[in-house]
Structure 1
Amino acid sequence: MSKLFLASFLLISSLSGTVAKQVLSEEKNQLPQLKLLTWQNANIFQAATEPEPKINVIVQKYLTNLSQRGKDPASQGVWLESDWRTLADHRGKIPASAASLTKIATTLAALEKWQIDHQFITEIRTNGSIYNGTLQGDLIVRSEGDPLFVWEEAIVLGNSLARLGIKKIAGDLIIVRGFSMNYELEPQLVGKLFKQAINKNVWSSTVKKQYQTLPLNTLQPQIAIAGRVRVREITPDNTSLLITHKSLPLSEILQQMNIYSNNKIAQMLADMIGGGAIVAKIAANVAAVPQQEIQLINGSGLGEANRISPRAACAMFKAIENRLASRQLGVKDLFPMGERDRVGTMLDRRIPRGVVIKTGSLWRVSALAGLIPTEERGDVCFAITNFGTGIGEFRQDQDNFLSELTQHWHLDPNINLSAQVKNTFGDPQRNITAESEVINFELN
């Protein structure tokens, strides 16, 4: 009985399956045939990934012009890439003297070591007490390495000391090694500059000029230090904190460094990171390029031994852009931009609107790298390294080359020319007064 039931069940199942297949087959024939579209064949990707013969023409024209003026093509490097493909490569993977393109590596390494909003701390301390307007003791300055402590910062810091009731200092000015001012590192010189900044009676014309850049109604400090400048390797024991000064955020320090290509800021940052070789190692690792394509002896780019391939320059630019994206920032907030910045390295350059760049110049080296915001390809990164005499001609050719590229593509019309980073030298809110028992306000 069970065998008969099983046989009947199998027969019915077989017939049902046959009928079901026939029904599905008929329905399939009645449905419209859908064309399968793979993502890589979509039109949105074709423009971004297809080769552009015109770019090769522009690059060859650029190299031919150099050759006709006696510039060896083997000493020039060109690299162009979008997010999707390499667009041009002439010795693009070969490291070459890159001058201040080195600062791209320093920028990337700094972002790896510190947060973008990091502020370097400078402490003002004393081993004495304040009585009737006089600090009876020494004034001690120690810093963790603020590379942008300049006249304006010191003047306003002097005003903060005055608000503590200090009119004069009976003791010495002690500089703990590591504090810099106006890009100077020699402690005795730094001490003399600081003494001058906090006492308007000894201001030079340079200090007066920088004071004029501060907000209206900024007071002029008048604090005289009776003693001499002394240098210490470490902070003396048994001192009390008077003021904690916070530097400009790292973002603004990097922006100033790159717009003006400030070698001293770059070197101070590189030294805190560990030196040129460490900067190169960090940059190559973060940018995911072979170590041999970034070879550095310092953080500024001074010296032809600093060598970077054009490809590596682009990789570092894009790594910086990616690192800043989560903070709603980009390379435009740390580097000069065409038609926005007209000072520093942008003087006498013809950089198209919205193009972010970094320049590099030595006696026989001229370099240019950056990002072009295009409608067709998104951000296109370019890098040029030139070696030879005639730096002015190299710059003109670079600008012409960049102009041809931006005429070939359409620049993004929605590019925002503003930078979120704002320079605020001498902001008194960055001077934080400590609660200290050394203050005794018995003023006459």
Structure 2
Amino acid sequence: MLDLFSSGIMSLWLDAAGVRSGMPNAVSLLAWRGGMPGLAVAEDLAFGGIDPANPDLPAVAAVREYLKDLKDKNLIEGNQGIWVQSGMLPLVSQQGTVLMPGASLTKIATSLASLETWGAAYQFETGFRGTGPIRNGVLQGDLVVSGGGDPLFVWEEAIAVGNALNQMGIDRVAGNLVVTGNFRMNYQSDPVAAGEILRQAIESLRWPSEVQAMYSKMAPGTRKPQVTIAGSVIAEKFAREGRLLLKRRSLPLPEILKQMNVHSDNEIAQILADNLGGAQIVQQQATWAAGVPAAELELVNGSGLGVENRMSPRAACAMMQAIARSLQATGLTVADLFPVSGRDKGTLEHRHIPPSAVVKTGTLDTVIALAGAIPTRDRGLVWFAIINRGTDWDSLRAQQDIFLQKLVRQWGTASTLPLAITPHIDGARPALGAANRSDILLGG
């Protein structure tokens, strides 16, 4: 293969595939399209296309039957997109390279861009400074919170902060609570409103029933913090001088992404996209990492809200695979970022997707989408994306599930779960409020 690069043959292959050989990720795109010369991308046929180099007639028949059932039941409107591939080999396509509203499949792009930018070990940091000394349990000055973009700074996280402040001997702040930086509390972006929620969270005597309910689910033995703010909550653009008392590290990025994808949380997705620099940056990062042609991904936000977020089914598969590759050296898998059928609830709670499939759902008024990977005996790990246009959500979801079940019956159930989709993160038990992510820095 190195000889091919040096001889210029690789450049000819890229040009033949419609890829500029000078583009930075051209080799990645070639690998995604098949990985070897002569492996042409499937052309769409009337009811399901097929890669002539890798025919899978049963899969084509399943797609034809699936589309016919949708049509007979009057469930579809406009284009229907399907892409199925085994590993890197395209098997079948129906409008697989056509831009369509992807709904929350957009969160695949947001997940990929987040990993590419920050890495799997990344944790957001929220800093707490004091502008005066601590005397007899009182911080003689202001408590300044400097946000670092944590999208999951919620009640439990604030409770942990309050307990850490108590641990260092602070039970009262004589001054104000000052909010600076990129700080959100319970998704609230207004700094004063976010600060008021934080103030309530660290003073347990002011807890409403909602916080009591959250607290009851935290680790046994977790204390109830009591930190009183004597002054007001104010917002300032620039961080104040003061002694760094405490850093609160967020859940690791993969755990945040798992929560986002299991529950298809639009707020987390948009916060991450904003932290990254906006939808265009997410689009650029995702297309680069996945080798996706720029024409197959168009984003206006990070969540998928709105039909203006469009992608091809092929691009959805490519981005899922790019995430899997990105995680290979981390000990994690794509199943640690997305819901797993039979294991995670959230958007899969009432679905009948084959067990152990790793998927991302998407829903808009006129869009039902699904993408991911299913383990099979004969075809190994099969990656797929389905984008349906229609308004009967329940029926479209049921037909998607039946279609995947047919593919598994055709190719057989995998005898063992592939390592590439073995989960390690339990999405049902995020360690929100864990004390070990508070770094007390009295000497800072």
Q: CA deviation at 1:71?
A: 4.1
Q: CA deviation at 1:241?
A: 0.5
Higher share of residues assigned helix: 1
State the distance in 2 between where 1:411 and 1:325 align: 24
Q: CA deviation at 1:65?
A: 1.1
Amino acid at match of 1:286: A
After TM superposition, the structure 1 stretch with the greater mean CA deviation from structure 2, 424-433 or 307-316, is 424-433
State the distance in 2 between where 1:325 and 1:287 align: 15
Amino acid at match of 1:319: A
Is the Cα contact below 8 Å between 2:56 and 2:92 reproduced in 1?
no
Is the Cα contact below 8 Å between 1:295 and 1:308 reproduced in 2?
yes
Amino acid at match of 1:187: P
Which 5+ residue runs of structure 1 have no aligned equivalent? 1-39, 41-48, 438-444
Q: Which residue of 1 aligns with 2:5?
A: none
After TM superposition, the structure 1 stretch with the greater mean CA deviation from structure 2, 418-427 or 322-331, is 418-427
Is the Cα contact below 8 Å between 2:166 and 2:225 reproduced in 1?
yes
Q: Which residue of 1 aligns with 2:311?
A: 308
Q: Which residue of 2 aligns with 1:289?
A: 292
After TM superposition, the structure 1 stretch with the greater mean CA deviation from structure 2, 70-79 or 258-267, is 70-79
Aligned positions of 1:303-382 closer than 5 A? 303-341=306-344, 343-382=345-384
Find the residue that maps to 1:325 and give its secondary structure. Answer: coil
Q: CA deviation at 1:300?
A: 0.4
Is the Cα contact below 8 Å between 1:340 and 1:418 reproduced in 2?
no
Find the residue that maps to 1:305 and give its secondary structure. Answer: coil
State the distance in 2 between where 1:200 and 1:144 align: 25
The equivalent position to 1:410 in structure 2, one of 409, 412, 417, is: 412
State the distance in 2 between where 1:51 and 1:74 align: 27
Is the Cα contact below 8 Å between 2:78 and 2:389 reproduced in 1?
no
Q: Deviations over 1:186-224 (max 9, x none)?
A: 111111110111111110111001101111111001111
State the distance in 1 between where 2:140 and 2:112 align: 45
Find the residue that maps to 1:369 and give its secondary structure. Answer: strand
State the distance in 1 between where 2:272 and 2:212 align: 28
Q: Which residue of 2 aligns with 1:253?
A: 256
Q: Deviations over 1:317-345 (max 9, x none)?
A: 1111111112222111110111111x211
State the distance in 1 between where 2:390 and 2:78 align: 11
Find the residue that maps to 2:416 and give its secondary structure. Answer: coil
Which 5+ residue runs of structure 2 have no aligned equivalent? 1-36, 38-52
Is the Cα contact below 8 Å between 1:276 and 1:299 reproduced in 2?
yes
* TM-score normalised according to structure 1 size: 0.85
The equivalent position to 2:142 in structure 1, one of 130, 138, 145, is: 138
Q: Deviations over 1:382-427 (max 9, x none)?
A: 1000112111211111111111111111222211786322521111
Q: Which residue of 2 aligns with 1:159?
A: 163
1:225 aligns with 2:229: yes
Is the Cα contact below 8 Å between 2:75 and 2:392 reproduced in 1?
no
Q: Deviations over 1:109-131 (max 9, x none)?
A: 01110110101111010111111
State the distance in 1 between where 2:433 and 2:275 align: 24
Q: Which runs of 4+ in 1 moved over 3 A?
A: 71-74
Q: CA deviation at 1:69?
A: 2.4
Aligned positions of 1:8-407 closer than 5 A? 50-72=54-76, 74-236=78-240, 238-341=241-344, 343-407=345-409
Is the Cα contact below 8 Å between 2:171 and 2:228 reproduced in 1?
yes
State the distance in 2 between where 1:269 and 1:229 align: 25
> Could you say which structure has the larger radius of gyration?
1
Matched length: 389
Q: Which residue of 2 aligns with 1:435?
A: 442
Amino acid at match of 1:425: L
State the distance in 1 between where 2:408 and 2:192 align: 51
After TM superposition, the structure 1 stretch with the greater mean CA deviation from structure 2, 84-93 or 107-116, is 84-93
Find the residue that maps to 1:116 and give its secondary structure. Answer: coil
* TM-score normalised according to structure 2 size: 0.85
Q: Which residue of 2 aligns with 1:11?
A: none
Is the Cα contact below 8 Å between 1:66 and 1:73 reproduced in 2?
no
Find the residue that maps to 1:122 and give its secondary structure. Answer: strand
Find the residue that maps to 2:327 and give its secondary structure. Answer: helix
Find the residue that maps to 1:264 and give its secondary structure. Answer: helix
Q: CA deviation at 1:74?
A: 4.2
Root mean square deviation, CA, Å:
1.7
State the distance in 2 between where 1:411 and 1:250 align: 32
Q: Which residue of 2 aligns with 1:28?
A: none
State the distance in 1 between where 2:170 and 2:251 align: 25
State the distance in 2 between where 1:327 and 1:160 align: 30
Find the residue that maps to 1:368 and give its secondary structure. Answer: strand
Find the residue that maps to 1:280 and give its secondary structure. Answer: helix
Find the residue that maps to 2:328 and give its secondary structure. Answer: helix
Aligned residues with identical type, % of pairs: 44
Structure 1 pair 418–220 and aligned structure 2 pair: CA distance change class (3 A): farther
Is the Cα contact below 8 Å between 1:105 and 1:279 reproduced in 2?
yes
Amino acid at match of 1:68: D
Find the residue that maps to 1:326 and give its secondary structure. Answer: coil
Find the residue that maps to 1:357 and give its secondary structure. Answer: strand
Q: CA deviation at 1:375?
A: 2.1
Amino acid at match of 2:385: A
Q: CA deviation at 1:160?
A: 0.4
Amino acid at match of 1:323: S
